Amino acid sequence: MTDERRFRIGVLGSGKGSNFVAIADACAAGTVAAEVALVVSDVAEAGILARARERSIPARFIPPGKFRTRLDEDAERAYVAALQTAEVDLVVLAGFMRVLKDGFLRAFAGSIVNIHPSLLPSFPGLAAWQQALAHGVRVTGCTVHFVDAGVDSGPIIGQQTVPVLDDDTPETLHQRIQAAEHALYPQCV
């Protein structure tokens, strides 16, 4: 038996939490040598909070403040404090639909990762699978990257390709990209 402290992950999410589930399950199985210490959402009824509670992982809603696409200053301080109190080593964004700003980035410099549903630098921003279809690419995929001050612009950690099929709809392509995300994200964490 060892008294070594386990590597601790804090997860931020706004939605269903499917990438969180992939990571938490990989941690529980020992595939990822870490533990999820805290899940925080900017959406009170987000599925990610329910998925965390099902796994007995601490889960909190913290109001995001007055802005639609980012945390306001008070919210940012509350998120940083919650993650620091949980002593997280890595902040994992799992469908967190807000851009993180300077104070947050400084608090966890080099320790924030995100997954994006395209092969960055192609198709940053929202609905990347729809962008891929509109541009007629034959291959798209997903990217895990470090978070910096830009949008989907940080250094790339890993990528997984997904073919674009002739009969793909935005929904079918998105489903296949999400399946690739669930495999790639735990590997990169």
Whether the predicted pLDDT of 1 surpasses 50: no
Residue 151 has pLDDT above 90, yes or no: no
String of DSSP letters for 121-137: TSS-SS-HHHHHHHHT-
- pLDDT tens profile 32-91: 999 999 999 999 999 999 999 999 999 999 999 999 999 999 999 999 999 999 999 999
What digits encode the pLDDT tens for the residues 91-145?
999 999 999 998 999 999 999 999 999 999 999 998 999 999 999 999 999 999 9
How distant, in Å, are the alpha carbons of 8, 35, 42, 60, 144 from that of 88?
5, 9, 18, 15, 19
Structure confidence by residue, pLDDT tens digits, 7-44? 999 999 999 999 999 999 999 999 999 999 999 999 99
List the catalytic residues: 116
For 97, how many CA atoms within 13 A lie in the half-sphere containing its CB?
Answer: 12
Share of the chain above pLDDT 90, in %: 93
Write down the mean pLDDT value for the chain: 95
The amino acid present at 115, given as its one-letter code, is I
Comparing CA positions, the residue from 61, 55, 2, 1 lying closest to residue 26 is 55
CA distance linking residue 88 with residue 90, whole number of Å? 6
Going by the DSSP 8-state scheme, the letter that residue 79 receives in this structure is H
Q: How far apart are CA 160 and CA 136, in angstroms?
A: 18
* CA-closest candidate to residue 33, choices 3, 11, 6: 6
